[in-house]
Amino acid sequence: MHTRTLGRDLRVSAIGLGAMGMSQSYGPNPGDRREMIAVLRGAVDRGVTFFDTAEVYGPYVNEELVGEALAPLREQVVIATKFGFRIENGAPAGLNSRPEQIRAVATASLERLGVERLDLFYQHRVDPQVPIEDVAGTVGELVQEGKVRCFGLSEASAETIRRAHSVHPVTAVQSEYSLWTRDPEPEVLPACAALGIGFVPFSPLGKGFLTGAVDASTSFADGDVRTTIPRFTAENRAANQALVEHIATLAQAKDATPGQVALAWLLAQHPWIVPIPGTRRLGRIDENIGATQLPLSADELADLHELADRVGVQGDRYNEHHMSLVDK
């Protein structure tokens, strides 16, 4: 597995693993915890060293799962987690990035993960009620205290990134980015490039759509987050199928899978981009890792880059509530 550097010195595998789906969001959760632990440890065996979780996933249980699975491998891995939500009655209940909340979450996450220091501590969503300078300053204090190694932001605007970075260095920005979600390109990616900040795309495979595993006929299980996303209505899935078909055609020509082409395109955008596709299966991890060995020519990259403009993408990437949490 190739490695890449986020920020100044956070060295991680070129493909990471998002663990959220092991505890929530994609239908019934796996009944066998041991199976998910085996997947996480199997990922390390295959060269994955970058793992993503958050207190709100579950809530709490995803951090506990990741912590237990990676405890024997702690020196080999980088674990990212997040703060920023208020959790009440076992569910997120709005944003909270007040300094005392950040400190409380850091303490609890350290315990759940079973670590002495949080490798990468993201603000999960920008809290408009708390100046980002106060957030960055608080995380900076946690860094000085040895409780946090690196500071990150998620779904933050370019202006917010710059303001935070002026107080304490931002190592990575995590936002949705893929062949059908290009929102970071106009402003966020140039800001990261200028400031030396890494970028971590979540949902780099379009929540499964870009792999070809989802089409207009797919039925989602109860509790699957995709039932709440406008882009995943049956009508929009049918309209967006042309995008996947184009990717699949290129994949077939290169003896690859559509998911590998989608990941290879992301990796080719900048050397400081590290996608974190999620999965519950080792076979899918093997497939995702294969994207690091898939060369795309300049013409192929340009063609894919122009694909969304030519084909079009129908439907918003979030529902109205979740869009309201994205920093503008």
Using one digit for the tens of pLDDT, what is the confidence trace for 93-111?
Answer: 999 999 999 999 999 999 9
**pLDDT over 90, % of the chain:** 92
Has residue 328 been placed in a domain?
Answer: no
The C-alpha angle with vertex 157 and arms to 154 and 162, in degrees rounded to 5, equals: 95
CA distance 277 to 256: 17
Whether the Cβ atoms of residue 83 and residue 55 lie closer than 8 Å to each other: yes
Task: Check 57, 122, 177, 318 and give the catalytic one.
Answer: 57
Mean pLDDT of 294-300: 97
Encode pLDDT of 20-46 as tens digits.
999 987 766 766 899 999 999 999 999
- Which ranges in 119-233 belong to alpha helices (H)? 132-144, 158-167, 188-195
**Residue 164 buriedness (CB in 10 A; 0-12 / 13-18 / 19+):** buried
* Least confident segment among 129-138, 213-222, 262-271: 213-222
CA distance 113 to 74: 10
Provide the strand spans (E) within the chain.
Answer: 3-6, 10-13, 17-18, 50-52, 78-83, 85-88, 91-95, 118-123, 148-154, 170-176, 198-202
Has residue 189 been placed in a domain?
Answer: yes
DSSP type of residue 221: P
DSSP type of residue 103: H
Q: What are the tokens at 38? A: 């085996």
**Annotation marks residue 57 as catalytic:** yes
Has residue 205 been placed in a domain?
Answer: yes
What is the CATH classification number for the domain harbouring 96? 3.20.20.100
Q: What is the pTM of this model?
A: 0.97
Q: Which of 12, 263, 259 is nearest to 152 (CA)?
A: 12
Q: What are the tokens at 222? A: 């109860």
Whether the Cβ atoms of residue 80 and residue 173 lie closer than 8 Å to each other: no
CA distance 86 to 83: 9
**Number of Cβ atoms within 10 Å of the Cβ of 241:** 17
> Average pLDDT of the chain?
95
Has residue 308 been placed in a domain?
Answer: yes
CA distance 16 to 285: 9
Task: State the total domains in the chain.
Answer: 1
Secondary structure (3-state) at 278: strand
pLDDT of residue 100: 98
| Host domain of residue 301 | 3-323
pLDDT at 271 over 70: yes
- Which ranges in the chain belong to alpha helices (H)? 33-45, 61-70, 99-113, 132-144, 158-167, 188-195, 234-253, 258-269, 282-290, 298-305, 307-311, 320-323
Q: What are the tokens at 299? A: 């013409």
- In sequence order, the β-bridge partners of residue 81 are 121
pLDDT of residue 223: 84
DSSP type of residue 201: E
